[in-house]
Amino acid sequence: MKKLKKIVTLLTLAAVCLTAPAFSKITAKAAEPNTYVLNFSTSKGEWRFKPASSWSEEVQDRELYYMMQEIKDGDYIVVQNDVDCNPLNLNVPVRLGNLTIKNSVKTPVITAKGYDNVYVLDGTTAAINGDVSHAYVYGGARVNFNNNVDTLEMYGYGSEYNNLHAYITVVGTVNHLSAKDGQTMETYYDYYNFAANKLFTEDGALRTDAQYYSKTAPAAATEAAQPAAAAQPAATAQPAASSSAYDDVPKTGESALSIYLMIAAVFCVVSGYALRKKNA
């Protein structure tokens, strides 16, 4: 009898040990992105940052050195400045989740290992180094993309009709260009496969020769196309760089968990049945 009880105890402990790793795996999640806002400090004569989505006196500013020590893949940067300053030349050793340019003085030059999303807001200028998955350019923004852009969207800004006024140059290739009026959401451009160093817009007008792009989507893209998300009106189209939405990492322990639980259940049922039979 005692020997049987010891066996039951050992089997139960084994089941617990097997299921514990599985439970720990299902809690794995991707680290949330941090947001850093950059601004030129006239009192210190240099660019500074704050761990926030917008420049606020409630948060203490710090040297950019400290941001460079802690920044990681997927983090967000907002460049927000409206005072006379030294030009910002920032080189971050990561791929950024979001880069938002609100800078209205001088032209910041930003270099990264890549970008998920780049937002260049109306009235701003910027030079972007690194491949971009999705770029959004608003109103009369002026921007140079010095590498490839997968999808480039232009949105008008203002109340007048045909309010596209952006100046855009792309040194690399562009897979898809879309341009819409900020008020009516009327589509002006919906073109594909721009050759390298050929996409150029002037005051919102496309200046690329027709031989360097296609007016129809590639066949594979057409067959696999998904319904496009509705664009927001211009008044709300400017995205908030502080968005904290972030997908969870696919859970790697879920399939193993069910197996471990099944084994544990079998151990417990068989052991309990044997114990009851012994006592009968």
Sign of CA dihedral 63, 64, 65, 68: positive
pLDDT digit of tens for each residue in the chain (280 aa)? Answer: 555 555 545 555 555 444 444 444 444 566 899 999 999 999 999 999 999 988 888 889 999 999 999 999 999 999 999 888 999 999 999 999 999 999 878 999 999 999 999 999 999 999 999 999 999 999 999 999 999 999 999 999 888 777 899 999 999 999 999 999 988 889 999 999 999 999 999 999 999 999 999 999 998 755 555 554 434 333 333 443 333 332 333 333 444 444 444 555 555 444 555 545 555 5
User: What's the confidence (pLDDT) of residue 54?
Assistant: 86
Quick one: pLDDT at residue 213? 98
Instruction: Read off the DSSP letter of residue 18.
Output: H
Residue with tokens 């950019």: 64
Give the pLDDT score at 119. Answer: 98
pLDDT in the model for residue 22? 47
Mode of pairing for the β-strands spanning 62-63 and 46-50: antiparallel
pLDDT of residue 159: 81
Q: Which pLDDT belongs to residue 124?
A: 95
**95-101 and 76-79: which strand pairing?**
parallel
Name, in order, each residue with C-beta under 8 angstroms of 269's C-beta and a sequence gap of 6 or more.
Answer: none
Look at the alpha carbons of 208, 209, 211, 214 in this order and tell me if their dihedral is positive or negative: positive
What confidence score (pLDDT) does residue 247 get?
A: 36
The candidate with the shortest Cα–Cα distance to 152, out of 76, 104, 206, 90, is: 206
pLDDT confidence of residue 211 = 98
Pairing verdict, β 205-206 and 199-202: antiparallel
User: What confidence score (pLDDT) does residue 139 get?
Assistant: 95
Please state the domain extents for the chain: 2-25+256-279, 35-237
Q: b or e along 101-133 (b: 16 or more beta carbons within 10 Å of the residue's beta carbon)? A: bbbeeebbbbebeebbbbbbbbebbbbbbbbbe
